[in-house]
Structure 1
Amino acid sequence: MADDIDAPAKGSGAWGQAVAAVALVAALGVGLWALGETSSSNSDLPPARCSDGEPEKTPGKAGKGVSGAQLCEALNRTDLAELLGTPGETAKTAGGSDGSVKFAGGKEVFNPSARVEFGTYTVTLSATYDRFPVAGSAAFLGKGARQQTVLGRPAVVYSDRTISISFRLDGSDTDSGPGVPA
């Protein structure tokens, strides 16, 4: 008696599977295309913004020094990646710091700095008020340091590799190797 009923077979046939496969491939293609459009539009993003913090201390004598925020604004240029030889790269982080060193005699030396970090480079700009001439500091930084004039002022430019260290707090999976140039 069950043989007399014309019920459709359960499951889809070969045509149904073929249509589902074509639809799946088309959906994956559209998804990958949309992902490519999103990542290419991210390359047009402006560089990271400097934090808007107020300077903690006034370096040097009042009105004669710069703050870390001012150094960050000067360093964080839209064409910095191009100047570094990596056009199209976007700054990940940018910030300034108003640090100082206090000596035992009570003398405090201000050294504000700015830092802009890319995926391949980290650029640091610092000012110091220690009364040592910039011309003499090239010798302390090694043979790769070179003296230049930047914006009419003496400067020392150098680049060095960093080290990359990664570890887990439980003590497993430690690794070290070369880092990015700084």
Structure 2
Amino acid sequence: MQFKAMLTTILAIAFLTGSVWAGQGRARIDLNVKSGELKITPSTDKNVRITHATWLKEKDRVKMYASSDLKVNDETWTQVSIEVTPSEDSTMTISLRGAWDKVKRNWCYYDDITVQGAKIVNSSFEEPKGWRVAKDQLVVDESLAHTGKAAVLVWHDKSANQSIQVKADVPVTISAWVKFCKQEDKESK
């Protein structure tokens, strides 16, 4: 009888764990400066992890690239924030993406991007300007947007990008509302 009770408990835990993870996906915001270095401010949010680019050589990691791993929900919009401080005046590119995966596309909606410490254009995607993104990724549907009528739908290899001007030693905080959309297989080549 104890075996049945233990098996029932294990199955219940497995089911509940699966249910929790089924409603979450991963998004990503990458930051890249043309010159100087990016100092990362660690996040206090347990759903946000920001690091220097792990795929670059050790000496290049801290220089120009920061990447964030964001846990987001697929039922509600999640607000995330990351902060970096550039070492010199530069152009910084913000790239909104889904998380990288070798075999899957992680599609995410982004809306209402705000930047403190620099100026951004078209933060809510209501106008077709400011962002470099494919037209079919601009979603004009009030029921899918966080606010207004538009949002952008991205995955790792089809990101939305905007370059902004940043100043030396001025912290830049990027906040975004993100919602996980779906995960699908990549086509094999």
TM-score, normalised via structure 2 length: 0.28
Larger relative CO (CA 8 A, sep 6+): 1 or 2? 2
Name the structure where helix makes up a greater proportion of residues.
1
TM-score by length of 1: 0.29
Question: Higher strand proportion, which one?
Answer: 2
Which has more radius of gyration?
1
